[in-house]
With several copies, the nearest count.
Chain A
Amino acid sequence: MSSWVSETSIEPWSLIAEQQSKQTIQGEFGATATFIGTMRDFSDRPDISRMLLEHYPAMTSRYLDKLEQSAREKWALLDCLIVHRVGEVTPGDAIVVIACWSAHRRAALDACNWLIEELKHQAPFWKKEFNAQGGEWVTGNTDGH
């Protein structure tokens, strides 16, 4: 199990492959569910050129750990990875990587789904988006639609 914040660019599929290469659960896990959040070039405003991801470092690590811990209590997970980007990102950059491994598929799928929703509503990260008109703080996370 691991969760961390990255100040530099993250490559989701390599991160997940690397996490898997360190596991000793081969033959035990039958399911892996992942979610990757990636920066878009639009939001409520068009033509977003970059974004600043601020966070509250001490609280962030505590919350990512807590989320992982809660997910493990709710579902029979064999491994779990949460990585969140901070700092300046541009469209196409990965912002968050969540991966869950379990023996049977519902645990991994449900935990992954739960983790992204909880993370979006609990973890102390904030986005400031920039376009030609300047920077604006994103005021709240949506329900995903």
Chain B
Amino acid sequence: MVSSNFKLAETINQMSIQVKFFASLREKVGHNDVELASAQNALEAWQLATNNMTAPENLLVAINLDYAKLESTLNDGDEVAFFPPVTGG
């Protein structure tokens, strides 16, 4: 029981945030995917995953596949993606 509770506490403190980069940002940052153990919001995830690179002005953010903001709060299990303006079609 004690061991099990201890593990639970550990899980609560240690979030899992998946960070993804696409297109020119992927090349600039130098990697596709990073897993973070904690990040309060998208901005903190950006800072941690890029070693404090300055965020471009036209940076787009998606949390769990929907557009979001840099100030948007992150929760355990979230996937946050950073990318430049889209150019499909």
| Chain A residues near B (Cβ < 8 Å) | 37, 53-56, 58-59, 62, 84, 95-96, 116, 119-128, 137-141
Given contacts A126-B22, A137-B23, A137-B24, contact A56 B81 (CB under 8 A): yes
The docked-state distance in angstroms from the alpha carbon of A126 to that of B83 is 9
Complex: how many Å from CA A128 to CA B87? Answer: 9
B77 contacts the other chain (CB 8 A): no
Interface majority SS (helix, strand, loop, mixed), chain A: mixed
Q: Is the beta-carbon distance between B62 and A59 smaller than 8 angstroms?
A: yes
CB distance from B18 to the nearest CB of A (A): 11
Interface residues on chain B, number (Cβ under 8 Å): 18
B89 within 8 A of A: yes
Q: With contacts A56-B81, A56-B83, A139-B84 known, is A125 near B89, CB below 8 A?
A: yes
Q: Which residue of A lies closest to B62 (CB)?
A: A59
A141 and B86 contact, Cβ closer than 8 Å, known pairs A56-B20, A124-B22: yes
Of chain A, the residue at the smallest CB distance from B85 is A140
- In the complex, whether B30 has a CB less than 8 A from a CB of chain A is no
Nearest chain B residue, comparing its CB with the CB of A35: B89
Q: Which of B18-58 contact A (CB under 8 A)?
A: 20, 22-24, 27, 58
B50 to chain A, nearest CB (A): 17
